[in-house]
Amino acid sequence: MNIKDLKVALVHDFLDQYGGAERVLEVLAEMFPKAPIFTLLYDKEKMSAQGGPALSWLNREIHTSFLQKFPKFWRQRKKWLLPFMPTAPETFNLRDFDLIITSSGAWSKGIVTRLNTVHISYLHSPMRFVWDSNEEYLQEKEGSKKIGFLARIVLNYIRVWDKVAADRPDYLISNSIHTQKRVKKYYGRESAVIYPPVNNNFQFPISNFQSNFNDQISNDGKNTKYFLVVSRLSAYKKIDKIIEAFNKLELPLLIVGEGAEEKNLKAIAGKNISFLVFQNEADLQKIYAGARAFIFANEDDFGIAPVEAMSRGVPVLALRKGGVLETVIEGKTGEFFNSNEPEIIADSVRRFIEKESNYDRETIKKRANEFSRKIFVENLEGFINKILNF
């Protein structure tokens, strides 16, 4: 028997926006083309517009949880569904599968399987909002003292569930050494490290795209090459700090993404800052290629977007925390700043500009190739073969 003979299922938290976790799922779907996908919520329209070149999940069997039956108004505001989230993955009927791979940033690792089913969970992160960012999350969700008290009760319940759920998979894989350490601390379990796949297979002309876009963000003909952010527009991503820095710098900044903070971020952005919603894969790769440097101001467990920027030869300016310490080589593929305060970010950009000519784009691309899809597939197949004794 080999992997192809197994009946496999894939489980993912949400399919309602296209980010780093969804890029991992896309490659898993390519590896197991017959595997159905189970997810708590699915927005086909958004995934169809934002997905990568393979669009692997759009033409296959997809099962959603009971949360999909809630009104669209609720589904688009997941925090209202938070008390129901732990139950949702537990209701999936997975009894017919030999191997289940969960792609989990929060919920999918909590599935319940039969005794003989092998469950591998690829962990993008232990839940930040109930572990190391608990207080920050509560401060962001401002409300009355009564609501704050109830929120703490809900978060404590979820924290207990999360620890129990993390014991259910037979094997854990972390997306970085940083995540591996957090998994050990919060779950008390060992995990293997397999870095996520970064798409470095791109072939397209970029000159026309750059010219047209630069005309949109610069009216004076100066500094037409933009700095770039690609991210979900969530508070924890600290994009407001980047905006404040570029308001001071008055340099062109392009922000690609959408999310709950979009309105607030646009309100504080100067005229030198432009926004685009998440683009299809082809246009996004062109946007990366046209950037002067990529800015990353939050602590992430891996951070696919900075490596994607590097795969186009773009230097990365990042907060000196988290997974970027494993991907960005200081002085060769990017620079670090020690705080995400706007003044510090702005100073980092100024220092980068002084030595910008020292960066070699081919060297940067070569580093990014160490995190390719091909390497991810080889490492994951090797891991599965080893645990199943194939």
Task: Mark whether 146 and 278 lie in a shared domain.
Answer: no
- Measure CA of the first residue to CA of the last residue in the chain; give whole Å: 7
CA 337, CA 67: separation in Å to the nearest integer? 41
Domain that holds residue 307: 207-370
Task: Mark whether 323 and 293 lie in a shared domain.
Answer: yes
CA 240, CA 284: separation in Å to the nearest integer? 22
| Residues 302/175, Cβ–Cβ less than 8 Å | yes
Instruction: Give the pLDDT score at 224.
Output: 54
CA 278, CA 290: separation in Å to the nearest integer? 16
Q: What is the DSSP letter of 192?
A: E
Q: Tell me the two tokens of residue 367.
A: 């580093």
- Whether 30 is in a domain gets the answer yes
Task: Mark whether 211 and 148 lie in a shared domain.
Answer: no
Instruction: Give the pLDDT score at 282.
Output: 80
Task: Mark whether 212 and 351 lie in a shared domain.
Answer: yes
The tally of domains found in the chain comes to 2
- Whether 221 is in a domain gets the answer yes
Task: Mark whether 315 and 179 lie in a shared domain.
Answer: no
| Residues 20/305, Cβ–Cβ less than 8 Å | yes
Task: Mark whether 171 and 233 lie in a shared domain.
Answer: no
- Whether 44 is in a domain gets the answer yes
| Phi, psi for residue 288 in degrees, rounded to 5 | -55, -50
CA 195, CA 197: separation in Å to the nearest integer? 7
- Whether 215 is in a domain gets the answer yes
Task: Mark whether 267 and 310 lie in a shared domain.
Answer: yes
Which run of H or E residues covers position 319?
strand 316-319
- Whether 248 is in a domain gets the answer yes
Exposed / middle / buried, residue 155 (Cβ in 10 Å: 0-12, 13-18, 19+): buried
Task: Mark whether 13 and 72 lie in a shared domain.
Answer: yes
- Whether 191 is in a domain gets the answer yes
CATH at residue 94: 3.40.50.2000
What share of the chain has pLDDT > 70, as a percent?
86
- Whether 202 is in a domain gets the answer no
Task: Mark whether 190 and 211 lie in a shared domain.
Answer: no
Instruction: Give the pLDDT score at 132.
Output: 75
Task: Mark whether 305 and 264 lie in a shared domain.
Answer: yes
| Phi, psi for residue 326 in degrees, rounded to 5 | -95, -10
- Whether 183 is in a domain gets the answer yes
Task: Mark whether 96 and 82 lie in a shared domain.
Answer: yes
Helices (H), the chain: 20-31, 44-50, 72-75, 87-90, 134-140, 145-166, 177-187, 207-217, 239-249, 262-268, 281-289, 304-311, 342-354, 361-368, 373-387
Task: Mark whether 366 and 376 lie in a shared domain.
Answer: no
pTM of the entire structure? 0.87
* Average pLDDT, 10 consecutive residues per value, the chain (390 residues): 84 89 92 95 81 57 95 86 94 96 96 96 92 59 54 85 97 98 97 92 45 45 75 92 98 94 96 90 88 96 95 97 97 97 98 96 96 96 92
pLDDT tens digits, 6-41: 999 999 999 988 888 998 999 999 999 999 999 999
What separation in angstroms does the CA of 162 have from each of 104, 136, 174, 183, 210?
11, 19, 16, 11, 45
